[in-house]
Structures are given as C-alpha cells and as structure tokens.
C-alpha cells in the first residue's frame, strides 16, 4: 500500500492502492475469424485468461490512463465545478458516464469539499498516472494497475501536496471508439456507471 503525503488544510492522510480495469468489447470483431473450438476458454476456477487477438491492450491502457489523468486534474480558477474535469475528459469517457458525473455534479461530499477549498485558494491540481501492470481477466477484458498522483499547486511553482488515488476504470471498445464507461476512485469520491 502507498502512504499519501498530505498538506493538512487540503487533504487528510489516507492509504490506498491504485487499480484500473479495462474491459474491451470490440464492435468490429467477426465471430467467423476464430473458430469456437480454437477460442481460448477460461473456467470459473481459472483466473488466467488469454486475450482475443483483436483486443488492443495498449490502447485500453492508454485510454484508462489518459481518462484518469484528465478526470483527476482540476483547474478551479477556470472550472465552474469538478464536473468540468469530466467534460474535458469527454474524449476518453463515454457520453453517458460524463452525463452521469455532470448531472450528479460530483455527488461526492469529500471530493466536493476539497474542490471548494481548492477553488477558494485558487489552486490547480494536476494528475499523472502510470500503468504499472496489465493482466487479462477474460478474452475481452484487461485489469490495468495505475499509479495516479495528484499534485496541488498555488500561484508559486512549488507543489503543495502530492496525493495518490485508487482508480478503477472499465474501458469499452465499440468499433473505432474506445471509452471509459465506468469510473470509481478511492476514497469513495465517485462511483458511476454509464
């Protein structure tokens, strides 16, 4: 587990690990490309799977990483609220997920209080996420571990704080589009499904 370093007036110290799950459902795949007898199968007791050859694991990892970075980066001096981060991440998030975040306007009290304090002190929060591991869960889904750090910065260039987050993202591919359809963070700031 990772210990979060905290700047007392903005964050409480918490402990968390980072995890993102990318689940792929390719809309362009053809059932005729792989005979059923040759398709890799995993039993309910077998936690190891082999990805279908048309599943692009690196694209799913990039989508999860980019979506998490944008969603966790806040600019309270220019954003109306934290739902603006979801709107900026629209290229990586499913429209239904963005709509859910925006309509809930972050129905996440802890995150909303933090956002209000950041806006009051005109702080910017930048997030950087790194994919550390990927493991197929099914032939169409990948579990991706991410380390995401949020850094709060005031007008001076010295960061005030670095916070690590737990993130879980379900990434779904539909034809040429790959989008995050479910996002959850720890502490329980947001849990949404498209």
Q: What is the pLDDT, as a whole number, of residue 194?
A: 37
Give dist(CA 30, CA 17) in Å, integer: 37
- Percent of the chain clearing pLDDT 90 (strictly above): 4
> Using one digit for the tens of pLDDT, what is the confidence trace for 52-89?
777 788 888 898 899 889 988 888 767 767 678 888 89
Burial class (CB in 10 A: 0-12, 13-18, 19+), 33: exposed
Query: In which region does residue 106 sit, left (phi positive, over 0), alpha (psi from -120 to 50) or beta (all else)?
Result: left
> Using one digit for the tens of pLDDT, what is the confidence trace for 115-132?
667 767 777 888 899 877
Q: What is the pLDDT, as a whole number, of residue 65?
A: 92
> Using one digit for the tens of pLDDT, what is the confidence trace for 133-170?
667 766 767 767 777 888 878 766 666 667 777 676 76
DSSP 63-114: HHHHHHHHHT-B-TTT-SSTHHHHHHGGGTB-HHHHHHHHHHT---HHHHHH
Query: Where are the domains positioned within the chain?
Result: 56-128
> Using one digit for the tens of pLDDT, what is the confidence trace for 169-191?
767 666 667 777 776 666 544 44
Q: What is the pLDDT, as a whole number, of residue 62?
A: 92
Confidence tier at 28 by pLDDT (50, 70, 90): very low
């Amino acid at each position: 587990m990772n210990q979060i370093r905290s700047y007392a007036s903005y964050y409480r110290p918490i402990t968390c690990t980072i995890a993102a799950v990318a689940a792929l459902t390719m809309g362009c795949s053809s059932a005729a490309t792989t005979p059923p007898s040759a398709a890799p199968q995993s039993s309910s007791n077998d936690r190891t799977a082999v990805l279908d050859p048309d599943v692009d694991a690196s694209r799913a990892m990039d989508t999860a990483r980019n979506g998490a970075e944008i969603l966790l980066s806040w600019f309270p001096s220019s954003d109306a609220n934290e739902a603006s981060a979801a709107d900026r991440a629209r290229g990586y998030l499913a429209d239904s997920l963005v709509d859910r975040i925006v309509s809930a306007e972050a129905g996440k009290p802890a995150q909303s209080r933090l956002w209000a304090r950041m806006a009051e002190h005109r702080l910017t929060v930048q997030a950087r996420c790194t994919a550390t591991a990927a493991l197929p869960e099914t032939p169409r889904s990948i579990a991706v571990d991410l380390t995401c750090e949020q850094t709060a910065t005031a007008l001076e260039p010295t960061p005030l704080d670095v916070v690590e987050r737990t993130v879980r993202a379900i990434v779904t591919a539909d034809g040429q589009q790959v989008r995050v359809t479910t996002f959850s963070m720890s502490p329980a700031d947001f849990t949404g499904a498209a």
